[in-house]
Amino acid sequence: MKGKAFALIFLFCALSVGAKVKLPTLMGDNMILQQQTEVKLWGKATPKAEVRVTPSWSGKTTTCRADKDGNWLLTVSTPKAGYTPYEITFDDGEKTSVKNVLIGEVWLASGQSNMEMPLRGFGGCCIMNGADDIIAATDNKGVRMFTVPKSQSYEPKTECEGSWNVASIETAPNFSATAYHFATSLSRALQIPVGIINSSFGGATVEGWIGRKLLETYPDVTLNPDSIERLNPMYRPMLMYNAMLKPLQNYTIKGFIWYQGESNVGRHDTYAQRLADMVQLWRNDWGLGELPFYFVEIAPYAYNDAWDDTAGAYLREAQFKAQSLIPNSAMISTNNLVEPYEVFNIHPRNKTMVGHRLSYLALNLTYGRKQIHCFSPQYKSWTVKGKEAWVSFDHLEMGICRNYDLRGFEVAGEDRVFHPSDSVWVHWQTNEVVVSSEKVAKPVAVRYCFRNFQIGTMIGGNELPTIPFRTDNW
């Protein structure tokens, strides 16, 4: 009898241990949940077990039942954002909890190495004011980041490694610099916590972040494992999407920020549509409607070791076009965020303003802070008057804010040879820019910073740079 009783006690204890709810790494201590909405919570439990979830902000218990494989998912209502730390208790016979949970705004950051680049910098590539920002991170307790480790998979995953980290001198060195400055700017403006999930892979192409079903429709992409394995890991299609994005899709977010494109230079003909395909796929995965998608124009750089070539310019043009294909999207320009000595540095140091400019889009377009001007001057049209090209622009609500020493313009005549403009002036009554060159008798085309590495000086409101453009289609 004693032996049987001991066996029953052992079995009961084993079942109790097995019953404890298992949570994904995304749902852990220090996490930030999206405010004033129904957020998803999920995990594993004993198959068919009832799971009870009680957040301390309401004290209300919500229940669901795990399926035959032990998977469960439910939603709870979140309150208004604030800095009060909360606890969430999970119970299916044995309790577990996550602590120090804040309510705020949550954004997913993704892309390649310029989004990945941490505040501490990369070897041979410094971050502007990186050390000072790391030291000051302790003052930004409301900014928290979950960094998804780089990983690849041929099949969609449901879990990833990682943990939520509160900004501090210990943790901030590993925070994405662009995402951190986006978050701190939002947090200061909105006076609430901001959480970032950073899922970036250095060198990744846009195809790396797209799933199998879509990729199978692209004639130039093969998903044969033997073919994929022969590629540099950075350039492998689908594998980042499966390993680093699929595990995140249950987490309720406000929107996406994206910094990628360098690895697609030379394939600009397909980029705009594939970026639009990717965004639609992600939005379908999250099931939260047309989540905002704000992205970064690739920076000036000597792509293919040629500063005056145009391969990078064509990719930027495709990025600009993508805005018209992606509802609720917008792009920031980085044309003036590089230094001349960075012509061969694919990782420009100034990530502060990249993050801030992304935040201007979010503040204006998502949060309704219309006081924050967020659009760069964009080419609209042009006409010829004698030897001069008169160029007009959209988004000059605050005018052209630099009307002297305007550099970056080129004009071409009937021979289609472009010459730097030796005369550029602003017709302030109409905000048109008048461009000419002594070497061009009659302009037939105008370009602005339409080269791999060419820094312009024309800025509009909020010191935002004019987006590079061309009027020709050669």
- What single letter denotes the amino acid at residue 221? V
The predicted structure's pLDDT at residue 20: 85
The predicted structure's pLDDT at residue 187: 98
DSSP state of 455: -
- CB of 259 within 8 A of CB of 209? no
- CB of 451 within 8 A of CB of 309? yes
The CA distances from residue 48 to 12, 42, 63, 102, 317, in Å, are 17, 14, 12, 31, 53
In sequence order, the 6+-apart residues with CB closer than 8 A to the CB of 318 are 268, 269, 271, 272, 275
Which stretches of the chain score pLDDT less than 50?
1-2, 5-18
The predicted structure's pLDDT at residue 136: 96
HEC profile for 323-359? HHHCCCEEEECCCCCCCHHHCCCCCCCCCHHHHHHHH
In sequence order, the 6+-apart residues with CB closer than 8 A to the CB of 249 are 285, 286
Grouping H, G, I as helix, E, B as strand and the rest as coil, residue 7 is: helix
Pinpoint the alpha helices (H) of 152-243. Answer: 177-190, 212-215, 225-229, 239-240
pTM of the model: 0.95
What sign does the CA torsion over 28, 33, 38, 40 have? negative
Q: Which two three-digit tokens encode residue 359? A: 């935040």
The CA distances from residue 163 to 90, 145, 160, 198, in Å, are 18, 8, 10, 11
Give the integer Cα–Cα distance in Å for 88 and 331. Answer: 37
The predicted structure's pLDDT at residue 403: 84
Which secondary-structure segment (H or E) carries 274? helix 268-286
What sign does the CA torsion over 265, 271, 274, 276 have? positive
